Amino acid sequence: MRHVAPLSVVAGVFGCLLGNQPTIQPQVDPPDPTPVLPLHNLTVDSILETLTVREKVGQLIMPWLLGNYIATEGDAFDNAAEWIDAFAIGGITISIGSPLAAAAKLNTLQARSRLPLIVAADLEYGAAMRMVGATGFPMPMGIGATGRELDAYQLGRITALEARAIGIHWSFSPVADINNNPDNPIINTRSFGESPAAVSGLVAAYVRGASQHGLLTTAKHFPGHGDTDTDSHLALPTLDACWSRLDSLELVPFRAAIEAGVTSIMTAHVALPCFDRSANPRPATFLPAIMTGVLRDSLGFEGIAVTDALTMGAIVSRYGAGESAVLAFLAGSDLLLIPADVGLALEAMVAAVDSGRIASDRLDRSVRKILVLKEETGLFATRTVALDSIPAVVGRRRHQLVADDIARRALTLIQEGPIERFRTRRGRVALITYAEETNHSISNVLIRELRALGETVTPFRLFPASGPMSYDSARVVLRRHPRAIFAPSVRPIAGRGHVDLPPALAELIEETSANKPTVLASFGSPYLLNQLTDYEGTYLLAWNPVAANERAVANALAAGAAITGKSPITLGDRFPRGTGISLPRR
């Protein structure tokens, strides 16, 4: 057998040839890593031949990293540097931060890594989902409310342009789940809707818009997470669906995504008793019958299978960080996303290869896919981005105007109530906002826009920690104003297990609507009326708290802008899918 030099040796031999790579050399302890590997004269197969088993496994592991600023001499950077130096990871999934800070951090890590890193992020409603200052769109369900595939295409296109400017190559979107269960605690507005045909068209349009502008895409959560009522971050949900049901419902959008050229499919951590009749069913992520039988054989998908986060409660609490990685790989996944412990996952995978539990050629097939993806994305030629170009792309006015147009058409009026008391007169109004997280609350945009249009607005903010004294203070504000707007942002949050208003807030909304003209503008879950049995006020769906949606609400209420959205989901017996009261521009 021919001896193959490990990656570190090849990097040392060819490092001097790398003329176009970054020269950033952060001073940290331990010493600087081996120089990056020059790739301009190498093929994917020749690179693969240089990798040890340990380095091959590293290419399949993608840990999670905040996009915030960190110094290159500090514990946070040392942790990321260890992933690269000790584990030779293949990529990173970047989370919340600023575009410039995230890009600078990624540039530094790219310069440190011997092979280029492929960078991913959850960008379901635009780059703003993770990057503060980027363009934010209505949630996918809001896109469904417009009924236009062009809007989904534009969401994909602009997300791609902004993501690539930051150094993100891959989005873990679109969500291809059909949200046909109002009690679903984790999908909700992340889905385009409940109609398989409508969701399929929007998913395919998003994939085309993103991929045609350089962004890799991911349809999730396979084979379907929409009809579940348990948060997989906490426990293992169950999808009671056999083949005939899956084939005609859940799988329809995934087929559309595959036909549109989606890069990858992400697994769902859900149990399917029809495919695993054991006393303690395994999640789909660990089922060869799903990940190979259905995904590969039935749907003919040849791309990359990505696990959902392996830190989730449905996985790590039962199987551990190491074994969960091995089981997911054996079932058919190629990329191991966010293992609970990178080192344990890597060692378990290496041991499985050494023992013969994982065949060497099976490992090579997955590694080759990742390397091909890096080559096709242009990472073999350029792995960093120009920081000074980011402000000219990310959040630019042209992108925001597209988002504003979509947001206006996504606004959906479910219950008319006294809305004309807002559209036809100006005056004093109390604005009560609520959000579980500060960074997902209504910003000052709504307040500023209402005031600019002639309203005298008194805002009052409520949070999950708000107690009786805060609610009493809100009542004082409400009593002093002849009209009220409630603007809650109740959204799916990993690990919370429900998407509901606090009972005290639901009581306050009903109490207020019985005494004065009241608008409830939901910047989150559309299902809030399920908690408000006696509410007769205006009910407006605004989908999520991004600037575009806040402007849309202000213009609809205080400037008489048209309202045209149609609900892409059923909202109880009174409001079937397609409900939406159209109001012309005044």
For the annotated catalytic residues, the residue numbers are 233, 308
- Helices (H) and strands (E) counted in the chain, each on its own, are 21, 15
Candidates 338, 337, 264, 330; CA nearest to 295 is 264
The answer for residues whose C-beta is within 8 angstroms of residue 175's C-beta and 6 or more apart is: 124, 140, 187, 190, 191, 192, 220, 221
C-alpha 552/C-alpha 580 separation (Å) is: 16
Assigned token pair, 502: 């606090």
Angle at 257 between CA 147 and CA 268, to 5 degrees: 105
* DSSP 8-state code for residue 60: T
Half-sphere exposure in the Cβ direction for 551 (13 Å, CA): 16
- Strand pairing report for 518-522 and 456-462: unpaired
C-alpha 402/C-alpha 213 separation (Å) is: 16
433 phi and psi angles, rounded to 5 deg: -110, 155
C-alpha 226/C-alpha 188 separation (Å) is: 8
Place of tokens 């490990």: 6
Place of tokens 């997300």: 159
Tabulate helix, strand, coil % of the chain (nearest 5): 40, 15, 45
Element of type H or E holding 461: strand 456-462
227 phi and psi angles, rounded to 5 deg: -100, 55
Angle at 520 between CA 515 and CA 526, to 5 degrees: 140
